[in-house]
Amino acid sequence: MSYFCDKYPVIEKKALAGGIFSITVKCPDAANAAEVGQFANILADGYTLRRPISICEIDKDQGTLRFVFEVRGKGTEVISHANVGDNLDVLGPLGNGFKVPEGKKVIVVGGGIGVPPLLGIAKQCGADCTAILGFRSYDKVILDKEFAAYGANTIVCTDDGSVGYHGVVTTPLTEELAKGNVDLVCACGPEPMIKAVVKECEDNNIPCRVSLEQRMGCGVGACVVCSCMTVRNGKEYYSRVCKDGPVFDAKEVRFDG
């Protein structure tokens, strides 16, 4: 794995929903090195810290990376102002991806802005992927048609029932797991959702990989601020979300740590 840092041109930009943007940059070297589930640390002009943003799609032929992100504060707002023709200063690809083996039956579970990094799994697995995507309400739903276009069995859930399942992602997850024939679950989203998904997988004895978030500094493993408590060989220690993650085997993560 290797990463790059340069200013890359924005070649496509779309607003997907209120405050949620899709920006594609031309960065052949970074795109060629990227894996599904990795992220990039993107400079927001005027701010000390870069903003970690997950990679939504990798196109190695076109040499592009696509980022889908939500404006959460002033830094992401600055990044959202980048238009076609502008440059984005991108440090990436960073971290470890989902590493989904070929030919596996996978369920991906995404919550809100945790959905984008899972799209690459649908692209890889097609009809062998079931995508359970949870959102607050209909106006926050993103990427569902793209999961479906890649052939994934796509199930949308909303907290308010305005579209799809009325309720949380674990209800359809339980049903899908009960059908059997699942090799792996991959999840990204808010911590309560991740915890619920991990418990469901434990109860059904299905391997689970989770993509985690933490307040981050350098993005490359140097500053050791984006810690999460992990257990390996019976020993507890703080792993770095940026370098050791962001995708972890759920068995290694201590969510109450």
Partner 1 sequence: MADLSVKIAGVDFKNPVIMASGAYGNGECYTDLYPISELGGISCKGMTIEPKMGNIPPRIAETPSGILNSVGLQNIGVRGFVDYYLDTLKEEGKGTVIIANVAGATLDDYIAAAEILESSNVDMIELNISCPNVKAGGATWGVTTEGAAAVTKAVRNATKKPLIVKLTPNVTSIADIAKAVEAEGADSISVINTLLGMRIDIRNRRPILHNNVGGLSGPAIFPVAVRCVWQCFNAVKIPIIGMGGISTWEDAVEMMLAGASAIQMGTAIFTDPYAPLKVTEGLAKYMDDNGIKSLSEIVGQVKPW
Residue 69 touches partner 1, criterion: CB under 8 A:
no
Coil/strand/helix, residue 64: strand
Contact region with partner 1 (CB under 8 A), list: 97-105, 132-140, 185-193, 222-230: 222-230
Which of 52, 111, 217, 246 lies at the binding interface for partner 1 (CB under 8 A)? 217
56's tokens:
């939504």
With 0-12 / 13-18 / 19 or more C-beta atoms within 10 angstroms meaning exposed / middle / buried, residue 54 is buried
Within 8 A by CB and 6+ apart from 48, the residues are none
Region of 3-11, 16-24, 124-132, 134-142 interacting with partner 1 (CB under 8 A): 3-11
Nearest-5° angle of CA 183, CA 189, CA 83?
Answer: 115
| Candidate list 14, 166, 215, 232; residue touching partner 1; CB under 8 A | 215
For residue 96, report the phi and psi dihedrals to the nearest 5 degrees.
-100, 135
Task: Choose one: 80-88, 121-129, 185-193, 236-244; the region binding partner 1 (CB under 8 A).
Answer: 236-244
Q: Decide if residue 32 touches partner 1 (CB under 8 A).
A: no
CA 17 to each of CA 68, 156, 199: distance values in angstroms, whole numbers, following the listed order: 11, 15, 31
Q: Does 16 contact partner 1 by CB under 8 A?
A: no
In degrees, rounded to 5, the angle at the alpha carbon of residue 171 between the alpha carbons of residues 169 and 177 is: 100
Query: Which position among 162, 204, 214, 252 is part of the footprint of partner 1 (CB under 8 A)?
Result: 214
Is residue 212 at the binding interface for partner 1, with CB under 8 A as the rule?
no
**SS3 assignment, position 253:** strand
Among 90, 216, 250, 253, binds partner 1 (CB under 8 A): 216
Gap between the terminal Cα atoms of the chain: 29
Kindly state the smallest distance separating residue 226's Cβ from partner 1, in Å: 7
Smallest gap, in angstroms, from Cβ of residue 48 to partner 1?
A: 5
Q: Which is nearer to partner 1, 49 or 206 (CB)?
A: 49
- Residue 165 binding partner 1, by CB under 8 A: no
The one among 223, 232, 249, 254 contacting partner 1 by CB under 8 A: 223
Helix or strand run (H / E) with residue 173: helix 170-178
Contact set with partner 1 (CB under 8 A): 2-5, 43, 47-50, 75, 91, 214-228, 236-238, 243
